Amino acid sequence: MTSTDDGRTTTRAPGAAGRALGAVPPTALVLLGIVSVQLGSAVAKQLFDAVGSFGTVALRLFFAAAVLLAVWRPSVRLDRRTWAVVLGYGVTLGLMNLCFYLSLSRIPLGIAVTVEFLGPLGVALAGSRRWLDAFWALLAGAGVVLLTEGHGELDVLGLVFALGAGLFWGLYILVGAALGRRTTEGDGLALGMGVAALVAVPVGVADSGTALLQPGVLLAGLGVALLSSVVPYSLDLEALRRMPPRVFGILMSLEPAMAALIGLLVLGEALRWTQWLAVLCVVAASAGAARGTREET
């Protein structure tokens, strides 16, 4: 579906990529996306020594935008409201990634994702008047307290950046829902990723310079883009079109635990038992809040 200059909407038949995704159960799409994005974060963290966090974000979003724009070849003939949503989505996506990678350069992957996950949890709990949701909020708060039980070992600025990433993640969910309503397939995602690249690439180039042009760095950056952006965002958008937001939220609550596990297996980032308990608290709170969210009609 594309919008013409006069605001009319036209429908476009699904492409080969859309048909392929349509054959996969939505639950599997979400789980594959979770594994992919956390593997991408682990690879990205290994790039920090070469190009820093800003350079890694620039590579990720540049290659992601290039791949998505080439695959979907979206029309730019959109009405003003749709373009406003695309721009909002792209800017939010760029800032979310910048904050997350800044946090990832300072604290373990599992902790960064757990703190960041407070953003979508806040979206799920916003406006609720149920006593049970108050319990989920307290459980998540207890998880954050447990995360800091490291006698000063955790970098405070890293936690602040993770909270910032969570704030933008919550906004990303809200704007992403609007993007899904106003665009079809990967058109809006591709355009939004292009905007995000315009936000992040100048910052990365200014910070890392010609180090970004090393062949090994470029290849790793392409891998990060595919694992962290192209694959999971495409899977998430397709899944959200075919399952209730409540179910999607419950499945996404597994992300902090998956991040902690991949951080351990790939990066060797062992967490204290209290921090593992903190991760489980946030996972349980997120799943409980998502389960209680009423499906929109």
The predicted pLDDT at position 63 comes to 96
pLDDT over threshold 70, residue 19: no
The residue with greater pLDDT, 191 or 244, is 191
The predicted pLDDT at position 230 comes to 85
pLDDT over threshold 60, residue 212: yes
Q: If you ran DSSP here, which 8-state letter would residue 209 be given?
A: G
Q: Are 99 and 164 in contact (CB under 8 A)?
A: yes
DSSP letter string, 84-107: HHHHHHHHHHHHHHHHHHHHHTTS
Q: Give me the amino acid identity at 172.
A: Y
pLDDT over threshold 70, residue 2: no
Domain ranges of the chain: 27-292
Q: 3-state DSSP call for residue 73?
A: coil
Both tokens of 130, joined, read 């149920």
pLDDT over threshold 60, residue 150: no
What CA–CA distance (Å, rounded) separates 287 from 253?
5
pLDDT over threshold 50, residue 296: no
pLDDT over threshold 80, residue 221: yes
Lowest mean pLDDT among 48-52, 219-223, 236-240: 236-240
The predicted pLDDT at position 185 comes to 73
Lowest mean pLDDT among 26-40, 137-151, 185-199, 264-278: 137-151
The predicted pLDDT at position 42 comes to 95
pLDDT over threshold 80, residue 179: yes
The predicted pLDDT at position 83 comes to 95
Contacts of residue 62, defined as CB under 8 A and 6 or more positions apart, other chains included, come to 197, 200, 201, 221, 225
pLDDT over threshold 50, residue 295: no
The residue with greater pLDDT, 230 or 95, is 95
* pLDDT per residue as tens digits for the range 86-113: 999 999 999 999 999 999 999 999 999 9
pLDDT over threshold 90, residue 153: no
**pLDDT, averaged across the chain:** 86
In this prediction, residue 262 has a pLDDT band, given cuts at 50, 70 and 90, of very high
The predicted pLDDT at position 128 comes to 72
pTM for this entry: 0.84
The predicted pLDDT at position 4 comes to 37
Mean pLDDT (whole number) for 25-47: 93
pLDDT over threshold 60, residue 134: yes
Both tokens of 132, joined, read 């049970």
Q: If you ran DSSP here, which 8-state letter would residue 162 be given?
A: H
Q: What is the distance of C-alpha 229 from the center of its chain?
A: 8
Q: Are 86 and 75 in contact (CB under 8 A)?
A: no
* pLDDT per residue as tens digits for the range 58-86: 999 999 999 999 988 998 899 999 999 99
CA torsion sign for 86, 87, 90, 92 is: negative
* pLDDT per residue as tens digits for the range 109-127: 999 999 999 988 888 787 6
The residue with greater pLDDT, 293 or 104, is 104
